[in-house]
Amino acid sequence: MNSSRPLILAHGGAGSRQVTPAQSTCLADAIAAGYSILAQGGSALAAVESTIGLLEQSGLFNAGRGANRQLDGAQRMDAAIMEGAHLKAGAVASIEGIVHPISAARLVLEETNHVLLVGPFAGKFSRHFKLTRHRSTGPSRRFPYDRMLSKHTRSTRERHGTVGAVALDRSGTVAAGASTGGIESMLPGRVGDTPLIGCGVYADNQSGAVSMTGIGEGIIRLVIAKSICDRLAMGKSPAVAARQVLRMLVSRINGSAGALVLSPDGRFSIRHVTPYMAAGWWNGIGQPTVQGQFP
C-alpha cells in the first residue's frame, strides 16, 4: 500500500564548528538526490545510502574522502545502515581505503547473514564487491605507542562532523544510516557509536528512525538511538523523545550529540546539545531546508 508521503533528513555533524556555505550546498544537493529516489518509488534504504554517499564523496565532512585521521595517520572509517520493515542492518568498522563505507555497510546487510564486519577483512569484503577505492595521501606517523597514548586527549569537542540520514518511503518503511571518520586525537583502532546498531543508528517501522552525530563514547554508553526509538514507541513525539534523551546524555555523563529523529507517520525532529548542527530535510515541497542550528 503506497500511502506515505516521502521524507528525508540528513546531517553533516554536530559540534563547535559552524557549517560552511560549501557544506550547506552539498547537504542540500544530497538531500535532493535522496528525495528523488523516494519520489520515484525507491526504498528508504536506497535513499539513505545515496544521500550519505554524496556526502562521503564530497570530502567536505568527516566521512569518506574527508575522514579524520587516527594518531598513526591512517583514515579508519565506520558506517552503518538499517531498515525498519525487517530490522535488517549492516555495518563496517575501522575500514580503510574506500570512498563509500555506507555502501560497504549496505552490502553487509544484503549479501551476508552478519551485521558488522571490521578492520582489514571489512576492506577485503568491499574490494570483493569492487567499491570505489581511495588512496590516502596523508602522512603516516610512526610514533611509539606510549607516545600516541600521551598525545591522545579526552576532548569532548566534535568540530568536523559525522554524516547521516533518515528517510521514509512511500511504502511506510523507515531507514537510518551514518558514516564517520571518528573524532580528533583518536587512538588507532578506536571505534565510536556509528557502526553499533542501537547507538549511532536505529530504524523500526513500529517506532521510527534515528541517526546520531557527536562524541560516540557518550552515545554508546546510553544506547542513544534505540533509547529515542523506545520513547517513540511509547507515544512520545520525535521532538520530545529526542529532547528527553539528549538531556539525559548531558545530565548523566556530560555528553555531546545531535540527532535526526523520524517517526513512521512523517513527524520529525532535528535536535542537538552542541553549539551547531549542520542538517536539513525535504518533503518535496519547495526546496530542501538546510540550517546550521536548530531550536
pLDDT tens-place string over residues 147-163: 777 766 654 444 457 89
Let me know if 162 is a catalytic residue.
yes
How large is the average pLDDT for residues 224-236?
98
How large is the average pLDDT for residues 268-286?
97
Torsion of CA 245, 246, 251, 252, to 10 degrees: 60
CA 3 to CA 5: how far, in whole Å? 7
For the chain, list the domains and their CATH numbers.
7-291 (3.60.20.30)
Closest CA to 166 of 93, 271, 293, 250: 271
Please say if the pLDDT value at position 222 is more than 80.
Answer: yes
Question: Can you give the pLDDT at residue 151?
Answer: 66
Listed in sequence order, the residues at least 6 apart from 135 whose beta carbon sits closer than 8 Å to its beta carbon are 97
Contact status, residue 274 vs residue 16, Cβ threshold 8 Å: yes
Which band of pLDDT confidence, cut at 50, 70 and 90, is reported for residue 2?
Answer: very low
Task: Take residue 295 and report the three cell numbers written for it.
Answer: 531550536
Which band of pLDDT confidence, cut at 50, 70 and 90, is reported for residue 267?
Answer: very high
* Range with top average pLDDT, 65-79, 171-185, 195-209: 195-209
Please say if the pLDDT value at position 136 is more than 50.
Answer: yes
pLDDT tens-place string over residues 252-264: 999 999 999 999 9
pLDDT tens-place string over residues 184-208: 778 888 999 999 999 999 999 999 9
Which band of pLDDT confidence, cut at 50, 70 and 90, is reported for residue 183?
Answer: confident
The percentage of the chain sitting over the pLDDT mark of 70, rounded to a whole number, equals 92
CA angle, corner 292, sides to 201 and 187, nearest 5? 50
Mean predicted lDDT score pLDDT of the chain? 92
Which band of pLDDT confidence, cut at 50, 70 and 90, is reported for residue 144?
Answer: confident
Question: Can you give the pLDDT at residue 135?
Answer: 73
Question: Can you give the pLDDT at residue 72?
Answer: 86
Question: Can you give the pLDDT at residue 240?
Answer: 98
Contact status, residue 76 vs residue 94, Cβ threshold 8 Å: yes
Question: Can you give the pLDDT at residue 156?
Answer: 44
pLDDT tens-place string over residues 31-65: 999 999 999 999 999 999 999 999 999 999 999 99
How large is the average pLDDT for residues 72-90?
96
DSSP string, the chain: ---PPPEEEEEEEEESSPPPHHHHHHHHHHHHHHHHHHHTT--HHHHHHHHHHHHHHHSSSSSGGG----TTS---EEEEEEETTT--EEEEEEE-SBS-HHHHHHHHHHHSS-SEEEHHHHHHHHHHTTPPB----SPP----HHHHHHH--------S--EEEEEE-TTS-EEEEEEE---TTPPTT---STTSBTTTEEEETTTEEEEEEE-HHHHHHTTHHHHHHHHHHTT--HHHHHHHHHHHHHHHH---EEEEEE-TTS-EEEEESSSEEEEEEE-SSSS-EEES---
Please say if the pLDDT value at position 28 is more than 80.
Answer: yes
Question: Can you give the pLDDT at residue 137?
Answer: 60
Q: Of 184-193, 197-206, 214-223, 240-249, where does mean pLDDT reach its minimum? A: 184-193
Please say if the pLDDT value at position 226 is more than 80.
Answer: yes
Which band of pLDDT confidence, cut at 50, 70 and 90, is reported for residue 138?
Answer: low
Please say if the pLDDT value at position 1 is more than 60.
Answer: no
CA 243 to CA 44: how far, in whole Å? 25
How large is the average pLDDT for residues 274-279?
96
How large is the average pLDDT for residues 168-178?
98
Catalytic residue (one of 51, 162, 180, 213) = 162
CA 106 to CA 219: how far, in whole Å? 22
